[in-house]
């Protein structure tokens, strides 16, 4: 029997409806939370991401704007822009869209953002607050994972959670958030010995390794809850045949369009073995922007006491 699909779109809409009411309440008190996005250069994917984030702001009634420095800007020039936003009382959230051009020291830029306005949750001060159990602004995708579990009535406390991937953006903060919810957490990575056996211990399996359909049936304990963070675009026909051999409709869609999205978990194996799982697309992805909006509203509240 196929597992329950955990719709990120449905949960995103719930969160945005709640935020819309909160923003209305704040606006009535003379406070309009504001987000400024900094989009350097003309990377097509980054343009889409920023456009979607600004559109979400507009729907909620948040003040928003996008700064578009040229692609050849220097690190020092970008730091000046960030310092100006830090000092602007109308700006509650600062989003510097990654990746940045190669000549820019991205670490210096992200460190320069005021932690109180770091709505991506990347600043070491915000990561440290999370690690010590006093979270303020939390990385958006991991925060979305917890919302999916809670709003789907999936227990976390006492469960064994395995996070495959140790990035600073997803893997590590996801592990800290699950630990804060009293799960027993293991973090796995490329050097984990016998990864299939380790992953099969999971009641909650989080896949954030960035490799298409890498986790297969041998990694999934029957009845586990699987949260697939990966978004990988497949263009190779042989790879599509391997992944979607049992899903002729998706293979037909691939042949028609020449590409298809897949997560880090084999989709058919996940659907057959998991008790509940997030699809790709439409699972974890929609929560990332929702939690960015949530962080912006939270930053507005925290900055004003």
Residues with a known catalytic role:
53, 97, 120
Give the phi and the psi of residue 267 in degrees, each rounded to 5.
-65, -40
The CA distance from 263 to 231, in Å, is 5
Q: Can the peptide bond before residue 99 be classed as cis, meaning omega within 30 degrees of 0?
A: yes
Contact 77, 83 (CB under 8 A): no
Cα–Cα dist 114/93, whole Å: 9
Whole-angstrom distance, CA of residue 264 vs CA of residue 234: 12
Q: Is 45 helix (H, G, I), strand (E, B) or coil?
A: helix
How many alpha carbons lie under 13 Å from residue 78 in its C-beta half-sphere? 30
176 in Cβ contact with 157 (< 8 Å)? no
HEC profile of 8-41: HHHHHHHHHHHHHHHHHHHHHCCCCCEEEEECCC
Phi then psi for 108, rounded to 5 degrees?
Answer: -65, -40
Closest CA to 60 of 10, 7, 13, 117: 13
In angstroms, what CA-CA distances link 143 with 51, 148, 189? 21, 9, 21
């Amino acid at each position: 029997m196929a597992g329950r699909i955990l719709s990120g779109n449905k949960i995103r809409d719930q969160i945005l409806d709640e935020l819309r009411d909160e923003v209305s309440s704040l606006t009535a008190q003379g406070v309009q939370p504001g987000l400024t996005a900094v989009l350097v250069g003309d990377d097509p994917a980054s343009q889409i991401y920023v456009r979607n984030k600004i559109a979400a702001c507009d729907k909620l009634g948040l003040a928003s704007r996008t700064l578009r420095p040229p692609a050849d800007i220097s690190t020092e020039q970008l730091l000046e822009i960030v310092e100006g936003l830090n000092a602007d009382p109308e700006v509650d959230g600062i989003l510097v869209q990654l990746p940045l051009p190669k000549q820019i020291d991205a670490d210096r830029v992200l460190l320069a953002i005021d932690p109180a306005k770091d709505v991506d949750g990347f600043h070491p001060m915000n990561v440290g607050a999370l690690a010590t159990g006093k979270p303020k602004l939390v990385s958006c995708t991991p925060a979305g994972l917890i919302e999916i579990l809670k709003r789907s009535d999936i227990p976390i406390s006492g469960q064994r959670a395995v996070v495959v991937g140790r990035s600073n953006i997803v893997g590590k903060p996801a592990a800290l958030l699950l630990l804060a919810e009293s799960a027993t957490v293991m973090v796995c990575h490329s050097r984990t010995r016998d990864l299939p056996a380790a992953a099969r211990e999971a009641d909650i399996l989080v896949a954030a390794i960035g490799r298409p359909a890498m986790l297969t049936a041998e990694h999934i304990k029957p009845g586990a809850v699987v949260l697939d963070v990966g978004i990988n675009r497949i263009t190779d026909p042989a790879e599509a045949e391997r992944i979607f051999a049992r899903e002729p409709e998706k293979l037909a869609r691939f042949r028609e369009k020449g590409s298809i999205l897949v997560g880090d978990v084999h989709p058919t194996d996940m659907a057959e073995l998991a008790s509940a799982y997030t699809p790709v697309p439409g699972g974890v992805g929609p929560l990332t922007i929702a939690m960015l909006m949530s962080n912006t509203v939270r930053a507005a509240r925290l900055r004003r006491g």
